[in-house]
């Protein structure tokens, strides 16, 4: 065993951390969100240039990484800085295109790696909650075309994407595992209506209505009716990414709190001298280290067979959910009023940590899924 | 002991319920039910409706237009009002300033200020905290210097809830900088329209400018606005805080939250069945309900034990800690119930300014913002850490 990062990953981490420390001031991020801008295209281009997007893909996919630890290293830094630029959709939708796309479709992955194209994953629906297999959107054969109908919800970066990777059902009923296919849908197709909004944590999202969207059957990504397996594998990569991002956000929130406890004086001394707070910081440190280990477990098992990979995915998401809530709530509490203000970075980390629990299954969901995976 | 409500208490409950049914406007009820943000006019309307019925001031003596309700009556009213989705009445004038004026103010101050709290002419806010005086409240620095028939006030208050709507503020000010810090503080009433006062909003984690900074630059305040004696303000301030905490358990709010939670969890589907039927989630809801059932009784035990018109002592710290923890847990559960539908931030819908339908089911839009907002419960009114210290010293003798 070796818990050290490779030289390449250490370099990537260090350059990314410097780039973000230099360019990603909290005030700029706040101003951007307040101005209604979804994200900073200049920063996104900068991230692509640094190789952040390339690190999300394997060499045979046109990148130079693509392993669990590549995702972990990058997303921990993104989380630490509170980055809202669309790297996650590159992992989710871009990853699917690279993994199961045919030669022609994989051309898109090159553009995604270059940062010139955003593809977003459209899998959620009003009735699906966190179940990837709950798909009611239909894909019906119409001659040699396919017609999509349905509404996709919570499509992260949907309004900023040029292409959507849509899950739709070609056979079976709502929760069946079989019968789900994935389709590449350019957003400018007739019948596609994208309504954007912003999430609590500043991340742009969208609802996508698909009304008689006619696609050539070459738009299908992977084999007909067998999309769930690839979707689940891609979501496991997405879970690795957001768990690492949460870890970075926890580290940042913890660091802010440690500094504040040293700086803030009440009753004539730094509040960090009060044991009531010290012990809670100690507990927090323990939980953050546990969170780090659970992300390492997931990242290291990402390319293992499904049962192993998924039980680590659920374990990490459960633990991260618990630790994230503890860190968010405790850091706010130990700051007092200042911790609740929009102006101060902490509340943004707290929002991101909390909302990550609502992405791709929360603490409870993954607890049950873990039980089921271990039993099965 | 008898846990049953008396005939009179039951009749009171029926009367309150009936009145709420007839009087609470639908639009207001819907806003509260969906967790939308209430504007100034909404609050003023609610106060005027209560005042017209004579129910605005549950704790005050009848002589000043109050109800003189006992603990059980107050509990019944609060529970019914919350379950009917009525707004919460504003505590600043009613249950913070008024008890201080009744106990320590002059008769002239009572006659001048109490009726105006009732008729809505005065909207009060609380000027206690300062940037460097939070938990260490006695460290307030805002200076008031006597100059003839006036005090000249300079300094800054912060975290002033709804100060943007208020026209009066009660302040802790330092009148003797040389005395021991608790002994140089006075309790002063300031008209916010006086020249030299600036109010600046602070946006909180839920996107709402709920609190403010209030700056005083050579503000001239008539000396008659001093409450009680100069340099005795700390005694009055602490008296106010115990009153602030009497309703702090928030049993009514939690009861209403639990009802909403059960309703929503019964509808939202997870894995093909209602979330409320998921054993894991059901267990968490039941746990919160069990805690709340006990809290309702703890609250009544503590509040009933206090002498008539008086606030409970250190015991109210127990209510603060456990009551706020329960309420925070319920908002956390409601947020989780919404699943991915808790993600979108929908300020236009929450402000009621837009008729656009909210994304997601009822209660989704407010679920995350109110979870974040309720973090304040364990911070203000004396943080839960401060309450634990009070329990440690005053009850445990450690
Ligand atoms: C099963 C067992 C095995 C043990 N084995 C060994 C052994 O092999 N060798 C050995 O030398 N000792 C051993 N110990 C003794 C152990 O190290 C002591 O019990 C321990 O150091 C606590 O001391 P104490 O019992 O005197 O409790 P105290 O020190 O009196 O503490 C009482 C309580 O006060 C708390 N406390 C004390 N100081 C503080 C503080 N500053 N801040 C906050 N809380 C505080 C403690 O956490 C504890 O809850 C063992 C004890 C147990 C229970
Ligand atoms: C939403 C909101 C509304 C508010 N409304 C008002 C208002 O209308 N009027 C008003 O005057 N004030 C108001 N407040 C202010 C509130 O009373 C203070 O925030 C509170 O007293 C805590 O002070 P602080 O924020 O300065 O935190 P600090 O006192 O700096 O505390 C920071 C942390 O240190 C802990 N701590 C401090 N001292 C100790 C100790 N001795 N032992 C252990 N832990 C300690 C605290 O518990 C907290 O966790 C409001 C606050 C909020 C968040």
- Does the interface ipTM go beyond 0.95? yes
B244 is catalytic: yes
Rounded to 10°, the helix B71-83/B279-305 angle is 150
Closest C-alpha to B114, from B93, B87, B137: B93
Name the helix (H) or strand (E) containing A262.
helix A227-263
The stretch A229-247 carries a mean pLDDT of: 98
Closest C-alpha to A248, from A82, A52, A28, A18: A82
Ligand 2 in contact with B124 (CB < 6 A)?
A: no
Q: Would the pLDDT of B249 be above 70?
A: yes
Closest C-alpha to A52, from A68, A63, A61: A63
Q: Could you give phi then psi for residue A86, rounded to 5 degrees?
A: -80, 65
Tell me, which fold does domain B124-232 have in CATH? Butyryl-CoA Dehydrogenase, subunit A; domain 2 (2.40.110)
Question: What's the predicted TM-score (pTM) here?
Answer: 0.96
Diameter of chain B measured on Cα atoms: 75
Encoded tokens for B202: 């602070």
Q: Would the pLDDT of B307 be above 70?
A: no
Can you name the residues that pair with B152 across neighbouring β-strands?
B145, B220
Q: Could you give phi then psi for residue B235, rounded to 5 degrees?
A: -60, -45
Residue A173 pLDDT grade (very low, low, confident, very high; cuts 50, 70, 90): very high
Residue B197 pLDDT grade (very low, low, confident, very high; cuts 50, 70, 90): very high
Q: What is the pLDDT of residues A183-207, one digit of tens each?
A: 999 999 999 999 999 999 999 999 9
Closest C-alpha to A84, from A164, A200, A196, A165: A200
Q: Would the pLDDT of B1 be above 80?
A: no
CA-to-CA separations, B33 to A5, B38, B85, B87, B323, in angstroms, rounded? 52, 11, 5, 9, 21
Q: Whole-angstrom Cα distance, residue A186 to residue A210?
A: 12
Q: Would the pLDDT of B312 be above 90?
A: no
- How high is the pLDDT of residue B105? 98
The residue of chain B nearest to residue A199, with distances taken between CA atoms, is B344
Residue B150 forms contact with A (CB below 8 Å) = no
What is the residue whose two structure tokens read 């809670």? A280
Q: Whole-angstrom Cα distance, residue B292 to residue B154?
A: 45
Pairing mode, strands B124-127 and B168-174: parallel
Other CB atoms within a 10 A radius of the CB of residue A262 amount to 12
Closest C-alpha to A84, from A13, A31, A15: A31
Question: What does pLDDT average to over chain B?
Answer: 94
Q: Would the pLDDT of A144 be above 90?
A: no
- How high is the pLDDT of residue B303? 80
Q: Whole-angstrom Cα distance, residue B6 to residue B330?
A: 30
In this complex, the residue of B202, B342, B383 whose CB is nearest that of residue A341 is B202
- How high is the pLDDT of residue B316? 87
The domains of chain A, with CATH numbers, are 7-117 (1.10.540.10), 120-225 (2.40.110.10), 228-375 (1.20.140.10)
Ligand 2 in contact with B202 (CB < 6 A)?
A: no
Residue B385 forms contact with A (CB below 8 Å) = yes
Closest C-alpha to B339, from A87, A160, A366, A232: A366
Whether the CB-CB separation of B37 and B208 falls below 8 Å is answered with: yes
Closest C-alpha to A314, from A251, A232, A201: A232
Domain ranges of chain B: 7-89, 124-232, 248-395
* Candidate of A265, A271, A275, A347 to mutate for ligand 2, largest count of ligand atoms within 8 Å of Cβ: A271
Domain spanning B248-395: CATH superfamily: Butyryl-CoA Dehydrogenase, subunit A, domain 3 (1.20.140.10)
Q: Which of residues 325-364 of B touch A (CB under 8 A)?
A: 332, 335-336, 338-346, 359
Contact list in B for residue A175 (CB cut-off 8 A) is 272
Q: Is B231 exposed, middle or buried (0-12, 13-18, 19+ CB in 10 A)?
A: middle
Can you name the residues that pair with A165 across neighbouring β-strands?
A121, A184
Closest C-alpha to B114, from B63, B42, B45: B63
Name the helix (H) or strand (E) containing A163.
strand A163-169
- How high is the pLDDT of residue A5? 92
The DSSP line for B49-116 is HHHHHT-S-TTS-GGGT-----HHHHHHHHHHHHHTTPPPPPHIIIIIIHHHHHHHS-HHHHHHHHHH
Residue B314 pLDDT grade (very low, low, confident, very high; cuts 50, 70, 90): confident
Q: Whole-angstrom Cα distance, residue B243 to residue B229?
A: 20
DSSP B394: I
Encoded tokens for A146: 């396919």
The stretch A257-281 carries a mean pLDDT of: 98
């Amino acid at each position: 065993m070796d818990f050290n990062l490779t030289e390449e990953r250490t370099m990537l981490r260090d350059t990314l951390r410097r780039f973000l420390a230099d360019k990603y001031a909290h005030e700029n991020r706040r101003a951007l969100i307040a101005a209604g801008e979804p994200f900073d295209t200049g920063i996104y281009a900068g991230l692509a240039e640094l190789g952040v997007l390339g690190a999300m893909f394997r060499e045979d996919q046109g990148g130079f990484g693509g392993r669990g630890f590549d995702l972990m290293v990058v997303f921990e830094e993104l989380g630490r800085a509170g980055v809202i630029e669309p790297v996650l959709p590159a992992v989710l939708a871009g990853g699917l295109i690279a993994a199961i796309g045919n030669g022609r479709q994989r051309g898109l992955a090159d553009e995604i790696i270059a940062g010139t194209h955003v593809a977003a994953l459209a899998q959620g629906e009003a009735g699906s909650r966190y179940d990837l297999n709950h798909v009611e959107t239909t894909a019906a054969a119409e001659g040699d075309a396919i017609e999509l109908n349905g509404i996709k919800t919570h499509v992260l970066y949907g309004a900023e994407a040029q292409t959507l990777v849509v899950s739709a059902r070609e056979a079976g009923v709502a929760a069946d595992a079989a019968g789900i296919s994935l389709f590449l849908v350019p957003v400018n197709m007739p019948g596609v209506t994208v309504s954007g909004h912003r999430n609590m944590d500043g991340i742009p999202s969208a609802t996508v209505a698909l009304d008689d969207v006619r696609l050539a059957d070459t738009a299908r990504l992977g084999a007909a009716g067998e999309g769930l397996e690839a979707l689940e594998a891609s979501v496991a990569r997405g879970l690795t990414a957001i768990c690492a991002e949460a870890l970075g956000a926890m580290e940042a929130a913890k660091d802010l709190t440690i500094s504040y406890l040293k700086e803030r004086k009440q009753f004539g001394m730094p509040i960090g001298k009060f044991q009531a707070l010290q012990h809670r910081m100690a507990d927090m440190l323990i939980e953050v280290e546990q969170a780090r280990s659970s992300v390492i477990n997931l990242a290291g098992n990402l390319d293992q067979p499904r049962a192993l990979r998924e039980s680590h995915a659920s374990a990490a998401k459960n633990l991260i959910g618990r630790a994230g809530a503890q860190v968010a709530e405790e850091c706010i509490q130990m700051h007092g009023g200042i911790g609740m203000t929009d102006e101060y970075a902490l509340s943004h980390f707290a929002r991101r940590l909390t909302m990550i629990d609502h992405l791709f299954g929360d603490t409870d969901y993954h607890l049950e899924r873990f039980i089921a995976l271990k039993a099965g | 002991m008898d846990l049953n409500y008396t005939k009179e208490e039951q009749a009171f409950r029926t009367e309150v319920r009936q009145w709420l049914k007839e009087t609470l406007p639908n639009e207001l009820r819907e806003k509260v039910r969906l967790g939308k943000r209430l504007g100034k006019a909404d609050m003023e309307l609610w106060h005027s409706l209560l005042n017209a019925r004579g129910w605005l001031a549950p704790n005050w003596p009848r002589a000043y237009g109050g109800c003189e309700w006992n603990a059980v009556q107050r509990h019944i009213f609060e529970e019914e009002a919350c379950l009917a989705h009525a707004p919460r009445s504003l505590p600043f004038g009613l249950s913070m300033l008024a008890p201080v004026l009744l106990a320590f103010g002059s008769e002239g101050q009572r006659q001048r200020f109490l009726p105006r709290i009732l008729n809505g002419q005065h909207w009060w806010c609380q000027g206690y905290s300062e940037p460097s005086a939070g938990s260490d409240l006695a460290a307030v620095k805002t200076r008031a210097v006597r100059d003839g028939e006036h005090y000249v006030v300079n300094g800054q208050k912060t975290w002033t809830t709804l100060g943007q709507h208020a026209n009066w503020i009660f302040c802790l000010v330092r009148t003797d900088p040389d005395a021991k810090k608790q002994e140089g503080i006075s309790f002063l009433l300031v008209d916010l329209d006086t020249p030299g006062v600036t109010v600046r909003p602070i946006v909180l984690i839920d996107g709402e400018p709920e609190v403010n900074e209030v700056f005083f630059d050579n503000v001239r305040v008539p000396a008659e606005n001093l409450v009680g004696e100069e340099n005795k303000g700390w005694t009055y301030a602490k008296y106010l805080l115990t009153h602030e905490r009497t309703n702090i358990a928030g049993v009514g709010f939690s009861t209403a939250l639990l009802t909403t939670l059960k309703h929503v969890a019964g509808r939202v589907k997870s894995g093909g069945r209602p979330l409320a039927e998921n054993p894991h989630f059901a267990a968490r809801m039941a746990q919160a309900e069990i805690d709340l059932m006990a809290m309702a009784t703890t609250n009544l035990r503590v509040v009933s034990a206090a002498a008539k018109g008086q606030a409970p002592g250190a015991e109210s710290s127990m209510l603060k800690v456990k009551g706020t923890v329960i309420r925070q847990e319920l908002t956390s559960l409601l947020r989780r119930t919404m699943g991915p539908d808790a993600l979108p931030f929908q300020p236009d819908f929450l402000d009621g300014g837009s008729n656009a339908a909210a994304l997601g089911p009822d209660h989704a839009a407010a679920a995350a913002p109110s979870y974040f907002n309720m973090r304040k419960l364990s911070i203000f009114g004396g943080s839960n850490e401060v309450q634990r210290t009070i329990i440690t010293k005053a009850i445990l003798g450690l």
